[in-house]
Amino acid sequence: MEERSKERSSSRKNIYRISGIVLAVLIALLLPVICGFLESGAYYLNVINYIFVYTIASTGLNVMTGYSGQINLGGAAYFSVGAYAVVILCNAGVPTLLSVVLAMLVVAFFGFLTAVPAAKLKYHFLALATTAVGEVVNNLLTVSPGGITNDTHGMFVKALVLFGFKFKSDASLYYLLLIMTALCLLFTWAFLHSRTGRACVATRDSVDAAGSCGIDVRQYKIIATVVSCVMIGFAGFLFAYLNRYISPDTFAAGKSTMFMSMMMLGGSGTLFGPFLGAVLITLIMELLRGIQGSGPYMQLTYGFILLIEMMFMPQGVSGAISDYKYKKDRRRMEAAGGDGKDA
Amino acid sequence: MNDTLKLILQLMIPGLCLGCVYGLNGIGAALLYKGSHTINNAQGAVVGFGALLGYSLQNRGLGLISSTIIATIACFFVGVLLQVGVISQIEKKAPIYVVIATLALSIVITNANYLIVGSYTYDSAVILINVSKYLHIDSVNVDILWSNIVAIAVSFIAMVSVHFFLNKTKFGSAMRAAAMDPFAAESCGISVVKTRAVTWGIMSALGALGGCLTGPLFGVSAGIGIAAGAKGNTGAVLGGYGNMYGAIIGGMIIGIVETIFGYIYSPYQTAFTNALFLIFILLLPHGIMNEKAIEEG
C-alpha cells in the first residue's frame, strides 16, 4: 500500500519535471514574441541577451575555478582577447566563421601560455598572478602596439553575419545566444562526464590523492585552464557582437570580479550555478540602474551582496538550496522514526 | 656623467618615496600571510579611506601631524573591526573565500568613499604637508621635493617601530608565535583571535599612514589607494611572501622600477610592472629573501 503511493508520487514527480522542462523550453522559444507585446520589451530582451553572454563566460570560469579548483581573477583578459581577436580579424576581411575559429585558437594559445607556468601556483598566488595577467592585457589593449585595437577610442563592431544571415535585431541575437548557451552548458556537462573532466574534478578535491591515482595533475590543470579560457573568449566574441562596441574600459578588472561573483553567487562547481548567478547579478544591476545617480550605490550594493554571500553562503544559491533540501529530507526521515539511514 | 647621476638621483628619490609607501603596504601583506595564509585585496580601499580621513581632518583645522596620527589610529580600529566582524567569520570556512571576500570589501569601501566625497581629486599639496618646496642640492644640482623626504623619513620610522614592536614587546612575540603555529600558541595561552585582529589593525594603520603620505604627491581622491594596495602585495611577493623585511625591499624595488619605467615609456608602466611581478612569481617564487612560504602544487 505504502509502496504504491510512493510509486505514484514519484511518477507524479516525473510528470511535474517533464512538464516543467517543456514549459521552460516553450517560454525560452517564445520569449522574443512575448517581449514584442510588452511596453519596453526590447530592453528586456537586450538584458536577457547580456545574461546569456555572462552565463557562458562564468560557465567557462566555473570549469577552471569551480571544477578544477584554480582561482582566476583575470577572466576579463581572455574575454577581451576573444572579443578583440574576432573583431580585428573580421575587419581585416577574414570570413566570420574562420575568424571565430582563428580567434579561439589565439585565446587557447594565450590560455596555454598563462596556464603552463600558472599551474604550479596555488590559491592566493594564482589569484595575484591572474590579476597581473588581466592588468597587463588591459594595458596592452589601451596602448596597443601599432594601434591595432584603436586604443582608448575603442572599436565599433558591425552586425554579425553568419551563413548569409545578418544578426541585427535583438530577437535574432536572442536565438543565437540561446543556442550557444545551451551548447556551452551541454559541452560543460559532457566535459565533466568525460575522463578528462573527472580527472579535473579529482584534482580539485585533492591534489595528492589525484596524483597518487596516476593523474598527471599539472597536465589536467592546464587542460582545464585552456578549456575555460576558450569558453570565456567565446563569450567575449558574442559580447562584442551584442554590445556592438568594445573598448579597454569594457574589459576592465571589474569584469573579472563580476564573472567571479556570478559564479560564486550561483554556486561554483554546479552546472546551472553560473546561469543563476548571471541572472541574479544582471537583474540586480539593472534594477539599481534606474535610481538617479546610482553609480556608487550600484557598486556598493554589488559589493555588499558579494560580501554577505561569502559570509553566509559561500556555496552560493545552489549550495544553499541543496543544503536546505538535505536538511528537510533529514528532518522528514527523523520524523518518520528512521535513524536517517534507510528510506 | 654628471647628467646621468643627476637623472638617477632625480628619479631615485620619488621612486624610493613610492617604494616606501608600497613597502608599508607590503609589511601588512607579509604579516597577514605569515599569520593566517590569506591575502588582502581590500588594502587599497583602506589606504584611500585613511588618506581621505586625514585630509578631511585637516580641513577641519587640525594640524598635519595630529591628523595623520588620528587617521592612522582610526584605521587601526577599522582593520580590527574588519577582521573581527567579517574576515574571521569567513576564515573558518575556507581561506580561499577570503580572497573574494576582501575583493568585495574593497568594492564596498571604495564606493563608500566615493559616496562620501564624490569623484573629485582634492589638491592637498599645501594642506597636508606644507612643504611643497624643493630641497636644492648644490653639488649635483638636483631638486628634491620635501614631501618625498618627509614621506621616506616617516615610512622608515614606521618600519623600524613595527620591527621593534614585533621583536621587543611581549605582544609582538605572541604575534610571531601565533603566526608560526596557531595551535601551539593557543595552548601556551596566546589569544590567536587577538593577534590576528592586531595584524589586520597594523596592516590597515600602515596603509592609512602611506595614504596620508602620498596625498600631497598625487592629490587625495577616493580611489587613491587601489594601486598602492595592489603594489603592496606585489612587493611582498617580490621580496619573498611572508617575510616582512623582504616586503620592504620588494616594495622599494617596485617603486623605483615603476618610476624608471614611467620615465622610459609611461604608457606601458602598468604592463611593465605587472610583467616584472609575473616573472618573479613564476621563475623566482621564493623571492629575494628566499622565503619558502609560497605553496606550489
pLDDT tens-digit map of A317-334: 888 888 888 888 888 888
pLDDT at A122 (0 to 100): 73
Q: Which helix (H) or strand (E) holds A162?
A: strand A160-162
Q: What's the rounded mean pLDDT across residues A298-326? A: 83
ipTM score assigned to the predicted complex: 0.83
Predicted confidence (pLDDT) at residue B127 exceeds the cutoff of 50: no
* Cα–Cα nearest to B159, from B251, B23, B250: B23
Q: How confident is the model at residue B128 (pLDDT cuts 50, 70, 90)?
A: very low
From chain A, the residues in CB contact with B282 under 8 A are 117-118, 120-121, 129
* Cα–Cα nearest to B248, from B223, B269, B271, B231: B231
Amino acid at B166: L
Give the Cα separation of A118 and A104 in Å (integer): 20
pLDDT at A57 (0 to 100): 92
Amino acid at A240: A
What sign for the dihedral angle of Cα A257, A261, A262, A267?
A: positive
pLDDT at B297 (0 to 100): 45
As a whole number of Å, the end-to-end CA separation of chain B is 49
Q: Decide if A173 contacts A51 (C-beta within 8 A).
A: no
**Angle between helix B226-239 and helix A123-142 axes, rounded to 10 deg:** 120
Q: What's the rounded mean pLDDT across residues A193-206? A: 87
pLDDT tens-digit map of A26-65: 887 777 777 777 777 778 888 888 999 999 999 999 998 8
DSSP string, A191-213: HHTSHHHHHHHHHHH-HHHHHHT
- To the nearest whole angstrom, how far is the Cα of B277 from the nearest Cα of chain A? 8
Give the Cα separation of A269 and A230 in Å (integer): 18
Flag if A129 and B282 touch (Cβ within 8 Å).
Answer: yes
The neighbour count for residue A65, using CB atoms within 10 Å, is: 27
Could you give phi then psi for residue A144, rounded to 5 degrees? Answer: -85, 150
Predicted confidence (pLDDT) at residue A280 exceeds the cutoff of 50: yes
Q: What's the rounded mean pLDDT across residues A176-182? A: 89
Smallest Cβ–Cβ distance between A300 and the set B95, B99, B112 belongs to B112
- To the nearest whole angstrom, how far is the Cα of A113 from the nearest Cα of chain B? 12
- To the nearest whole angstrom, how far is the Cα of A106 from the nearest Cα of chain B? 20
pLDDT tens-digit map of A227-273: 999 999 999 999 988 888 888 888 777 888 888 888 888 888 888 88
**In terms of residue numbers, what domain contains B194?**
2-283
> Where is average pLDDT lowest: A8-22, A168-182, A317-331, B41-55?
A8-22
Higher per-residue pLDDT: B45 or B284? B45
Higher per-residue pLDDT: A53 or A96? A53
Q: Decide if B183 contacts B85 (C-beta within 8 A).
A: no
Predicted confidence (pLDDT) at residue B126 exceeds the cutoff of 50: no
Instruction: Give the residue numbers in A contacting B (CB under 8 Å), as ranges.
Output: 71, 73, 117-118, 120-125, 127-129, 131-133, 135-136, 138-140, 142-143, 207, 217, 257, 260-261, 264, 295-297, 299-300, 302-304, 306-307, 310-311, 314
Could you give phi then psi for residue A54, rounded to 5 degrees? Answer: -65, -30
Q: What's the rounded mean pLDDT across residues A179-186? A: 91
Flag if A140 and B271 touch (Cβ within 8 Å).
Answer: yes
Smallest Cβ–Cβ distance between B103 and the set A121, A133, A257 belongs to A257
Domain count for chain B: 1
CATH of the domain at B9: 1.10.3470
> Where is average pLDDT lowest: A174-178, A258-262, B124-128?
B124-128
Residue B194 CA: distances (Å) to CA of A293, B88, B161: 41, 11, 20
Question: Cell numbers of B242, please?
Answer: 611572508
Flag if B241 and A264 touch (Cβ within 8 Å).
Answer: no
Residue of B nearest to A295 (CA): B111
Q: How confident is the model at residue A309 (pLDDT cuts 50, 70, 90)?
A: confident
pLDDT at B81 (0 to 100): 92
pLDDT at A56 (0 to 100): 93
A91-97 own/partner pairs: CB under 8 Å, 24+ apart: A91/A155, A96/A160, A96/A161, A96/A162, A97/A162
Residue B210 CA: distances (Å) to CA of A50, B21, B230: 40, 5, 13
From chain B, the residues in CB contact with A207 under 8 A are 297
Residue B142, helix vs strand vs coil? strand
The neighbour count for residue A201, using CB atoms within 10 Å, is: 18
Residue of A nearest to B33 (CA): A124
